[in-house]
Amino acid sequence: MRHLLSARDLSLESAVSLLDTGESMAQVQMRDVKKIPALRGRTVVNLFFEDSTRTRVSFEAAAKRLSADVINFAAKGSSVSKGESLKDTVQTLEAIGADVIVMRHPSSGAAKTLADSGWTQAHVVNAGDGTHEHPTQALLDAFTMRQFKAQRDGVSPLGTDLTGLRVVIVGDVLHSRVVRSNVWLLHTLGAHVTLVAPPTLVPVGVGAWPCEVDYDLDRALAAQPDVVMMLRIQAERMNSAYFPSAGEYSSRWGLDEDRFRRLIVGRGDEVIIMHPGPMNRGLEISALAADSPQSRILNQVANGVSMRMAALYHVATDVTEAPRKELA
């Protein structure tokens, strides 16, 4: 795999292979010395034109655990704020010898533009492009769901997909790159996805996505899904009011305390709660749900490091299907 630009482009074989490599990387993280020499001598540049906590830190940890040299480049404080173009910025990184560029950018399509540009020979990993895609988030989410399913069914996660898993994704679908990556990857892996949102936060064209859409959260939760993923209300991407008030949103589309209690009644071990972060506690999710035994939100963060190690390894060493033996 030369680049990782979108989850939609991943075949079932590549997705399962990435998830399996993620399992090997998770083993590495359980060792006292959490480092392998897989990318020794390679340079990974984290090029972030948008704010980030989890994604940036976890790509940095992932690259370091693979023994790569890491350069963190935030647009704030760089010559980008003096008006330097993406082309000049990237050509500078090329001259420095970047082998992999991990890029987050506010424009949808920016990662593909970079990969197709000829400005750099580096492998490109999309760490979020506008409202388009966030493929490593979808991979870490799928990894988290696969572990839950394997544990529940008493089987090994290796080599398996998500066939039969029922996933409800709730909230600001309109502005979410996380949901766009998740819907396609979960579909490829065989899961059944239902999106739930107020009509104002559902994008035009959702009918072409491989999922169902509901506007009634209580109805969707009454169907007893295996996974409930809450999305952040992305206030920074909203230029007008999409719902009357925070209270109204929370009471109809939030995982508030009452709704959470109803969800887990009699099936506490059979349902998990996810959120990509950062959370707006009290808006889309209550503290009761976020901090509950059903919550996998911190597991998602830990799994993010394993899956980003897998993604960096697959692009930098051009893995197409089975992970290389020497990795273990």
Residue count at the site for ligand ASP (CB under 6 A)?
Answer: 8
Torsion angle, alpha carbons of 255, 258, 259, 260, to 10: 70
List the x/- string, 274-303, binding to ligand ASP by CB under 6 A. Answer: --xx--------------------------
Residue 108: CB atoms within 10 A of its CB come to: 14
3-state class (DSSP) for residue 228: strand
Give the neighbor-by-neighbor strand order of the sheet with 43-48: 69-74, 43-48, 100-105, 123-129
Does the protein bind ligand ASP through residue 132 (CB under 6 A)? Answer: no
Residue 14: CB atoms within 10 A of its CB come to: 17
Does the protein bind ligand ASP through residue 3 (CB under 6 A)? Answer: no
Instruction: Please state, in angstroms and rounded to a whole number, the distance separating the CA atoms of residues 135 and 39.
Output: 21
Q: What share of the chain is helix, strand, coil (3-state, %, to 5)?
A: 45, 15, 40
Does the protein bind ligand ASP through residue 149 (CB under 6 A)? Answer: no
List the x/- string, 151-190, binding to ligand ASP by CB under 6 A. Answer: --------------------------xx------------
Specify whether the CB–CB gap between 72 and 318 falls below 8 A.
no
Of 224, 291, 215, nearest in space to 253 by CA: 215
Decide whether 55 or 89 has the Cβ nearer to ligand ASP. 55
Does the protein bind ligand ASP through residue 130 (CB under 6 A)? Answer: no
Site for ligand ASP in 32-91 (CB under 6 A): none
Give residue for tokens 């899904």: 225
Does the protein bind ligand ASP through residue 135 (CB under 6 A)? Answer: no
Site for ligand ASP in 191-250 (CB under 6 A): 232, 234
3-state class (DSSP) for residue 53: coil
Does the protein bind ligand ASP through residue 105 (CB under 6 A)? Answer: no
Decide whether 56 or 112 has the Cβ nearer to ligand ASP. 56
Query: Residue number with the shortest CB distance to ligand ASP?
Result: 232
Q: Which residues bind ligand ASP (CB under 6 A)?
A: 128, 134, 177-178, 232, 234, 276-277
